[in-house]
Amino acid sequence: MEIKAYAKINLDLYVGKKDIDNYHDIDSIFVKIDLYDLINIKIEKSNKKEISVRCKEVSQNNNLVYKIIDKYLDYNNIKAKITCSIKKNIPLKSGLGGGSSDAASVLLFLNNYFKKNTQKELIDLSYSLSSDMIFFLENVNSALVTNKGKKIEKIDIGYQEGYLLFDSFNKLSTKDAYSKIDNLRLNEPKRKKLFYLKDVSSWYLYNSFSNLYPFQEIKKEYEKKGYIVGLTGSGSCIFLLKTINSLPIKNSNLTKFKFLLSW
């Protein structure tokens, strides 16, 4: 069976204080986009637990897909042979949620096959591995995400398209980025209420992690060409949203993308 695991961007991302569980409070708008990893998964009968996850970019023991399969089988006392191969199209350490999306997609597939757990149980299984997995477990394409990623409120955002810009900065892991942000004193603006219902040319997209990178230089460069510019997740991918004033641009590091429409 082949599964598509879609990436997300954060239109904005406000990071709060770290709680005793080591997760930070966040206030963010997540939107799925049409970039995806391809996962081939096979389930076979076995008298013991056997898991194989092949991915060129990530070792098996460090792969969230392997970890969530292992947790799911143990939690439900299932003996089976599960084989996965992952073709990564979503770059690592980009802030696009590729690892979390992969793991959530596989978890949903497993539960659809074995029919063991409620949605709440799947969320509880996922949270200790990745709070972003909760968004990917929900049947939404765009949402307001708060309470350390646990609260998902579906919102409707119209069709947008643009470009992803990779390799602009030195990449940081999510863990490293969050550890660095704790040392910053942030004077953050407030989100304009329902800004996403207005014309894209008026959007202001703030991300707490933009202070970790030379983001403002690139932002100014592409704003002059008529784009709305944002940083997704903890970085390092930048996204450019087209407006009616956008000029054509040529850059080998640019990848076209579009929003997945809400249903």
Where on the phi/psi map is residue 194: left (φ > 0), alpha (ψ -120 to 50), or beta?
A: left
* Pairwise CA distance, residues 98 & 86, whole Å: 11
Amino acid at 194: L
Q: Are 196 and 155 in contact (CB under 8 A)?
A: yes
* Residue 7 structure tokens: 């990436």
Q: Which of 12, 27, 37, 132 is catalytic?
A: 132
Q: Does 168 sit behind a cis peptide bond, omega within 30 degrees of 0 on the bond before it? A: no
Where on the phi/psi map is residue 28: left (φ > 0), alpha (ψ -120 to 50), or beta?
A: beta
Is-catalytic flag, 74? no
Is-catalytic flag, 49? no
Name 231's bridge partners: 238
Q: Beta-carbon neighbour count of residue 206 at 10 Å? A: 16
Name 45's bridge partners: 80
Pick from 81, 99, 90, 88: nearest CA to 33: 90
| Residues comprising the chain, all counted | 263
Q: How many CA atoms lie within 13 A of 77 on its CB side?
A: 0
Catalytic residue numbers read 8, 132
